[in-house]
A and B are shown apart, each in its own frame.
Chain A
Amino acid sequence: MYLSLTGVLFVLGLHGLFTARNLLRQLLSLNILTTSVFLLFVVLARLAEPLDDVPHAIVLTGIVITISTTAVALALVGRLAGRTRDDDAITAGDPRGDAE
Chain B
Amino acid sequence: MALVVLAFDLLLAAALIWLAWQATRAADLFHAVVSFIVFGLLMALAWVRLEAPDVALAEAAIGAGATGALLLSALDRLARRPRRHAPLYEPGTAWGFWLPAGSALLAMLTLAAWNLPAPGLGNEILASLSASGVEHAVTAVLLNFRALDTLLEIGVLLLAAVVIWALGQAPPPLVPSMPSPALPALGRLLFPIFVLVAAYLLWRGSHGPGGAFPAGAVFGAGGILMLLAGARPWIRSSEHGPWRLILSLGMAVLLAAGVAGTLSGQDFFQYPKGTAASFILVLEVAAGLSIALLIFALYLRGKPREHGSWGAAE
A and B, one complex?
A: yes
How many contacts between A and B, using CB within 8 angstroms? Answer: 259
Q: Mark B125-169, 1 if CB is under 8 A from A, else 0.
A: 110000000000110111001100110011011011001100110
Q: Mark A1-24, 1 if CB is under 8 A from B, else 0.
A: 111111111111111100111101
Known: A50-B122, A82-B314. A64 touches B164 (CB 8 A): no
- Min CB distance B76 to A, Å, is 10
Contact across chains for B171 and A78 when beta carbons are under 8 A apart:
yes
Contact across chains for A63 and B83 when beta carbons are under 8 A apart:
no
Asked if B302 is at the interface of the complex by the 8 Å CB criterion, the answer is yes
Enumerate chain B residues within 8 angstroms of A60, measured Cβ to Cβ. Answer: 54-55, 58, 138, 142, 213
Enumerate chain A residues within 8 angstroms of B153, measured Cβ to Cβ. Answer: 61, 64-65
- Roughly how many angstroms separate A77 CA and B77 CA in the complex, as a whole number? 10
Point out which of A12, A60, A76, A77 has the most chain B C-beta atoms below 10 A from its C-beta.
Answer: A60
Nearest-neighbor residue (CB-CB) of B90 within chain A = A19
Chain B residues within 8 Å of chain A by Cβ, number: 92
Asked if B88 is at the interface of the complex by the 8 Å CB criterion, the answer is yes
- Roughly how many angstroms separate A58 CA and B47 CA in the complex, as a whole number? 14
Nearest-neighbor residue (CB-CB) of B149 within chain A = A61
Pick out which of these stretches binds chain A: B63-71, B177-185, B187-195, B196-204. Answer: B63-71
- Roughly how many angstroms separate A35 CA and B9 CA in the complex, as a whole number? 17
Contact across chains for B298 and A57 when beta carbons are under 8 A apart:
no
A-side binding surface: helix, strand, loop or mixed? helix
Pick out which of these stretches binds chain A: B24-32, B224-232, B236-244, B272-280. Answer: B24-32
Contact across chains for A64 and B113 when beta carbons are under 8 A apart:
no
Contact across chains for A72 and B164 when beta carbons are under 8 A apart:
yes
- Roughly how many angstroms separate A46 CA and B122 CA in the complex, as a whole number? 10
- Min CB distance A52 to B, Å, is 3
Contact across chains for A68 and B156 when beta carbons are under 8 A apart:
yes
Pick out which of these stretches binds chain A: B103-111, B254-262, B263-271. Answer: B103-111
Q: Can you list 8 contacts pairing A with B, beta carbon distance less than 8 Å?
A: A8-B17, A9-B16, A13-B20, A50-B126, A52-B125, A53-B140, A63-B213, A65-B156
Q: A6-B109, A14-B105 are in contact. List 10 more A-B contacts (CB 8 A).
A: A1-B9, A2-B9, A8-B17, A25-B24, A28-B71, A64-B156, A67-B66, A70-B71, A78-B74, A81-B81
